[in-house]
Every structure is written in C-alpha cells, then in structure tokens.
Structure 1
C-alpha cells in the first residue's frame, strides 16, 4: 500500500474511535464519505478536461472540496488518476486544507466544543421532529445524528 493512503486509514480509524467514544455521530463520517466522492468526481472531471482541452475545474474548487472533508477522495483521485501530483504550489495549499480540516475535527473533540456539538445536534433533532413528526426521514436523521454513548 502506498504511503499516501495512510492518512485516510488514520482518518477512518479516528472517526471510528470518535464515534465509539461518543464524541461524534455517524453523520460526521457520512459527511467525509460524501465529500470524498464529490472530490474524487471533481478530480476525474478536471483530469478529463485537461486531456481534452475542455473547461477545467478551478483549483479553488478542488481545494474547497478537500477543506470540507473531501481530502480522502482527493488523495485517491490524485493517486489513481495521476492528477495534480506535480504542481508544488497546489500540493502545498492542498496540504494546508487537509491540516485545517483535521484541526477542525480535532477542535470538535475539545472539552468546550464537544458538549456544544451535542447540544446543537439535539436541538436540530428536536426541531426536525417538531416540524415533520416521526416519519422515515426524521428516523434516518435521528439514526445518523445519535451519539454512541453519553459523555
């Protein structure tokens, strides 16, 4: 396995630990998964456009997708598609977006922020149930946002 995939393995292990320890709900991992799929698709689109001379995806868009949690998909896209691996300035900004995203994830685990995350998620759940009642959509929301254990 290439060393470039180790950060993804560490993220998955960290998200599993975070969920199991009761810091974050499944929803956080789902956000990373969806953002990664979108990010990979953007890299694939940009690679195809680079080959055909079509309109390219802006680098800021690629970086934003990494910043919001799509960096695992971006890493896979860079490696599998052999795209955006040579431009040093792009790689530096990409590394900064990964570090900022991981820093934000770490910040969610701090003693001051973790209870606030839990509070706002519960408020969102309560609002959804009041607005829509208990139906399939709210049941899915409740499952995705529940914490494994109370802290």
Structure 2
C-alpha cells in the first residue's frame, strides 16, 4: 500500500523566523504594557511583575530542560502552567522556542495556550479597572 506524500506548506516558516517572530511578540507585549502604564491605566508594579515572572519562568523551563537531559527530578507541568497563568507566559513561550522544550506534547501546548488566554483576560480586567465596559 502506497503512503501519501507529506504535504508541506508552500512557505514554511524556518526555525529562525519563528524565533524572531516570538521575540518580536515578547518585546511588543512588554512595550504595550509600558505604554499602558505610562498612560496611567496600569500600575508600574504590574509591569515589573510581568518582567520578573517572565524571567523566572524562563529559568524554570531551562532548569527543567537540563533535568530532563540528565535524567533528574523534573518540574511538574502544573508548576509550569501556574507560572504561565501568573504572567510568565512570555518567558514560557521564549523557553519553549529557544530551548526547544515542551513543544511536542499537544496536551501541554493546549494547556499553555489556555493559561495565556486566562492571563490576558485578567490583565484586560485590571486595565479596565474592573469595568470591562471601559475597554
């Protein structure tokens, strides 16, 4: 029985292009946070929180990747998702892409995207001052 050929996109995105896109998304997100804070719609402490939790999340992913390679104790996936939902999703995105970690498990990726949606919904709520109609 003949297998059908694998269909490939006519314009596949290279790994380097994907890295650049995600880096631009990360910088863009932080830039938007800074602009919103400068407009007085968001506390500067929240901007600082996003930067801090993003860096911590990246480091936790890096530690987990190293542990996986060395057969040591791993960080629970629930911890990685908790960090993402608390605002570390940008650091998680960068770690997944640059470290090529946690990219193959579709269940994990789905849960990750849900944490991003939940976090952004909470952020919109904070920006609106608790009144979504103000957005």
Determine which of 47, 50, 55 is the counterpart of 2:65. Answer: 47
RMSD between superposed Cα atoms in Å: 1.7
Aligned match of 1:59: 77
Aligned match of 2:3: none
The more displaced of 54-63 and 5-14 is 5-14
- Which segments of structure 1 move beyond 6 Å, counting only runs of 4 or more? none
Give me the TM-score of the superposition, normalised by structure 1.
Answer: 0.69
Aligned match of 1:134: none
Q: Cα distance, 1:8 vs. partner?
A: 1.7
Determine which of 76, 92, 103 is the counterpart of 1:85. Answer: 103
CA deviations over 1:51-99 (Å, ceiling 9, x no partner):
1110000000000001111111111111111100111000000000011
Structure 2 unaligned segments of length 5 or more: list them.
1-16
Q: Cα distance, 1:4 vs. partner?
A: 2.9
> Which structure would you say has the larger RCO, counting Cα contacts within 8 Å and 6 or more residues apart?
1
Q: Cα distance, 1:6 vs. partner?
A: 4.3
Q: How many pairs does the alignment contain?
A: 114
| Equivalent runs, 1:2-151 vs 2, <5 Å | 2=18, 3-110=21-128, 112-113=130-131
Q: Cα distance, 1:21 vs. partner?
A: 1.3
Give me the TM-score of the superposition, normalised by structure 2.
Answer: 0.77
In 2, Cα distance between equivalents of 1:77 and 1:69: 14
Is the CA contact 1:5–1:75 (under 8 Å) kept in the aligned structure 2? Answer: no
Structure 1 unaligned segments of length 5 or more: list them.
115-151
Is the CA contact 1:43–1:83 (under 8 Å) kept in the aligned structure 2? Answer: yes
